[in-house]
Amino acid sequence: MDILKSIFEKYSNNEFIVSNKSTFTYGEFWIQSEELGKKLISVGCKKGDFLFIKLENCENYLQIYLACMRTGIIACPIDPDLPNGRYKALKDELKPRFVIDDLNKIDRLKANHNIDSFQNNNFIMLYSSGTTGEPKGILHTTNSLIASARSFAQLSGMNERTIIYHHFPMYYMAGIFNMFLCPMVSGAKIVIGNRFSRESMLSFWELPKKNGVNNLTLTPTMAISLVKVFRNDNSIMQYIKGIESIISTGSYLHRSTFDEFKKKFSIPLQTCYGVTEVGGTITFNSKEESELFMDDSVGRFDKKIEFKCEGTKTNPTEIIVRTPFMMSGYL
């Protein structure tokens, strides 16, 4: 069964992507991704080839991801600000068949080929942060990430009423998994904003409020930054209090950050945990559980996932995870 096609047929008439330039339903986005897939094939890309994507956030970025899922071309998202030396090293290592670093490139391509029916292909190559050594290329299949997205969407309560605000980099795991794949498998809506930055903080809440965003993801650094720059605005404050879920991801949530955010906005940050190797975010704290803020708790997990802790509860030495959403392997 074509799991991607079934998702987009089920939610065909739902609004999927909203940006400052355009709005797409699931059905329209599916057609656009097919045209893009045909264009990539027409320039010689084929199953198993690497495609470099070096763009700023835009709806086209997400269309490229879907086109890669449908064709078996392996997406390699690249930070647009990556130093030239590192970028050249990546190109030499992976030898991409094609590079999309300008949207005009897509417009100039011709869609002359058909797309084969969906298979469980290798879908995306992401590099680790390198905090524990040399950055490693992490490969995931479409099926593993879709299954993982369905698991987390269920844990976190996403559904067709959910409206996500996408302000993370689209080359970053949370920008792919939490803010694209999870809402995609849920029939939810994605509102695309600018990447979070110092410049965007003062007006951060305007677009979510305008579009009724009810599901938000922040890093702890983003959360504390928003606390510090917020100037009391009653209408925005009332909107924030009504948000169904604000998830903290990306790094450890300290109690001081939790307390300051809750004191300012009267809503708790909900912790979760995951790493790219295990298929994204795999645990989640509900709003009610987060109100209690149990130190070091990162929430519940899917029954298909197993955890084993080496050492003792007070002095753990290693956490071992068994998950069906595991990466295919390192490059």
Residue 227: the pLDDT is: 97
User: CA–CA separation, 211 vs 299, rounded Å?
Assistant: 29
- Residue 17 is which amino acid? I
Classify domain 163-330 at the CATH topology level. Answer: Rossmann fold (3.40.50)
pTM: 0.94
Residue 131: the pLDDT is: 66
Residue 118: the pLDDT is: 66
On the question of pLDDT at 296 being above 60, the answer is yes
Read off the pLDDT of residues 232-285 as tens digits, 9 standing for 90 and up. 899 999 999 999 999 999 999 999 999 999 999 999 999 999 999 999 999 999
Classify domain 25-141 at the CATH topology level. Answer: Rossmann fold (3.40.50)
- Of 65-69, 113-117, 256-260, the poorest mean pLDDT is in 113-117
Residue 207: the pLDDT is: 96
Tell me the CA end-to-end span of the chain in Å, nearest whole number.
29
Answer for the pair 167, 195: CB distance below 8 angstroms, yes or no.
yes
CATH 3.40.50.12780 residue spans of the chain: 163-330
Answer for the pair 222, 204: CB distance below 8 angstroms, yes or no.
no
Answer for the pair 213, 188: CB distance below 8 angstroms, yes or no.
no
User: CA–CA separation, 105 vs 92, rounded Å?
Assistant: 22
Between these two residues, 296 and 197, which has the higher pLDDT value?
197
Please report, to the nearest 10 degrees, the dihedral formed by the alpha carbons of residues 153, 19, 3, 53 taken in order.
-100
Residue 117: the pLDDT is: 66
Residue 119: the pLDDT is: 73
Residue 130: the pLDDT is: 66
- Residue 292 is which amino acid? L
Q: What value does the mean pLDDT of the chain take?
A: 92
| HEC secondary structure over the chain | CCHHHHHHHHCCCCEEEECCCCEEEHHHHHHHHHHHHHHHHHCCCCCCCEEEECCCCCHHHHHHHHHHHHHCCEEEECCCCCCHHHHHHHHHHHCCCEEECCHHHHHHCCCCCCCCCCCCCEEEEEECCCCCCCCCEEEEEHHHHHHHHHHHHHHHCCCCCCEEEECCCCCCHHHHHHHHHHHHHHCCEEEECCCCCCCCCCCCCHHHHHHCCCEEEECHHHHHHHHHHCCCCHHHHHHHHCCCEEEECCCCCCHHHHHHHHHHHCCCCEEEEEEHHHCEEEEECCHHHHHHCCCCCCCEECCCCEEEEEECCCCEEEEEEECCCCCCEEC
On the question of pLDDT at 38 being above 90, the answer is yes
pLDDT band with cut points at 50, 70 and 90 for residue 92: very high
CATH 3.40.50.980 residue spans of the chain: 25-141
- Of 21-35, 189-203, 292-306, the poorest mean pLDDT is in 292-306
* % of residues, the chain, pLDDT over 90: 79
On the question of pLDDT at 1 being above 60, the answer is no
pLDDT band with cut points at 50, 70 and 90 for residue 312: confident
On the question of pLDDT at 225 being above 60, the answer is yes
Q: What angle do CA 138, 143, 55 make, to 5 degrees?
A: 55
* Average pLDDT for 112-123: 78
